[in-house]
Amino acid sequence: MNNSVLIICTSLNMGGSEKQAVWLANKLIEENKKVYFVSLKDAGILSTELSPKISVNNFKLRNAKNPLTKFLYFCLGVVKLSRLIKNKEITTIITFLFHSNVVGKLLKIISREKILHIATFRSDRLSKRDSKISRFRTLIFKNFVLDKDIFVVFNSMSGLNNMNLKNVNTRIIFNTPLNNVQLSKDTKEQNTKLVFIGRFDELKNVKNIALSMKYLLFEDIVLDIYGKGPDLKSIEQAIIDNSLQNNVKLKGIDKEIANKLSNYDALIIASTHDAFPNVLIEAMNAGVVPISTKVGDCEWLLNENRGIFINGFDSESIYLSIKEFYEMDLNQKNAIIKNGRNFINQNLSEEKILKDWLDLLF
């Protein structure tokens, strides 16, 4: 059996999908498989996390100065990959994110080799950076990418249910938390440090998270916000307009923030839609109380006293959930932490998730 695998990812930035793609590539190397990795846009910050045993290429689409150049880079990249597949006798392609799914299908069409294409679906819908379903992307995915031989791997129950695919091989393989944790920490008597980690865009609802702090100005609570994105300016202005500079700190990008989560007491997710947020399970893994809207698989993850729910998307609803957390006693908070850690160990351990992948691939 050929053990060569080609993994294609749209980019190698700090997104959850990119992290899972890098994790899978490294784990397959540890299993003595031959792995080739391609990033469509550029090398990205996560490229340094890939094992030196992995052959890495990128299309450099971000370097293209105009649409014609970008199209040329794209075509040359596809041709290069088709030659790689032939020369290295690659029989399995795993694609992460929409554009990579399309490239995987193109390679399957132009290659003369019999290829297993595993297209991962890492959200609850096909959209851009808002909450609206992209009809165009959905049409392309369902009518071009999919075929009778493809495997679609969802990382969430919500994604599988929402796409409602017919006559297609599907499977759910959840993500596993990838952060290093210090499990000796118990929550402190004064729980005042909150954190948000994610992209600053409409669906992440970051401005309302910041605005929730205007109800808490006289409490000993600080919110650190990590990330970047198109909504940065409006978030900065909201903080200034509401005199929140002492309570809300924009911390930018920190590559190691997932490994520093134990410095915080609660993590906030207020997304208007989501599927299976990596940062949520990383918080549970790190002994941090998660506070989340009831989107995607978040409700399943936090049921049975594993977190606190936000009943709405506005700043006041977010505030009420923070207030609920703040008013809990130490035993209540530690119970949530213990339940979360047990859930991760039983359902989302690295060993279990890797076995799910290996069972599918080999």
Structure tokens that stand for 173 in this block? 């393989």
Range of the domain at 249: 193-347
Asked if 114 and 154 sit in the same domain, the reply is yes
Q: What is the pLDDT along the chain (362 residues), one digit of tens a residue?
A: 467 999 999 888 777 889 999 999 999 999 999 999 998 876 677 788 899 999 888 776 666 678 888 788 788 888 889 989 999 999 999 999 999 999 999 999 998 778 999 999 988 888 766 567 888 999 999 999 999 999 999 999 999 999 999 999 999 999 999 998 765 455 444 548 999 999 999 999 999 999 999 999 888 899 999 999 999 999 999 999 999 999 999 999 998 999 999 999 999 999 999 999 999 999 999 999 999 999 999 999 999 999 999 999 999 999 999 999 999 999 999 999 999 999 999 999 999 999 999 999 98
Asked if 274 and 166 sit in the same domain, the reply is no
Q: Is residue 39 part of a domain?
A: yes
The CATH number of whichever domain residue 162 belongs to comes to 3.40.50.2000
Return all residues near 79 (Cβ < 8 A) that are at least 6 apart: none
What's the rounded Cα separation, in Å, for the pair 194 and 323? 12
Q: Is residue 292 part of a domain?
A: yes
What's the rounded Cα separation, in Å, for the pair 201 and 181? 28
Instruction: From 210, 235, 226, 294, select the one nearest 258 (Cα to Cα).
Output: 226
Asked if 91 and 215 sit in the same domain, the reply is no
Asked if 228 and 321 sit in the same domain, the reply is yes
Instruction: From 87, 77, 79, select the one nearest 2 (Cα to Cα).
Output: 87
- The pLDDT score that the predictor gives to residue 58 is 75
Helix (H, G, I), strand (E, B) or coil at 304: coil
Asked if 144 and 212 sit in the same domain, the reply is no
Q: Decide which of 114, 140, 173 is a domain's last residue.
A: 173
Q: Decide which of 173, 207, 235 is a domain's last residue.
A: 173
Asked if 169 and 259 sit in the same domain, the reply is no
Q: Look at the chain and report how many structural domains it folds into.
A: 2
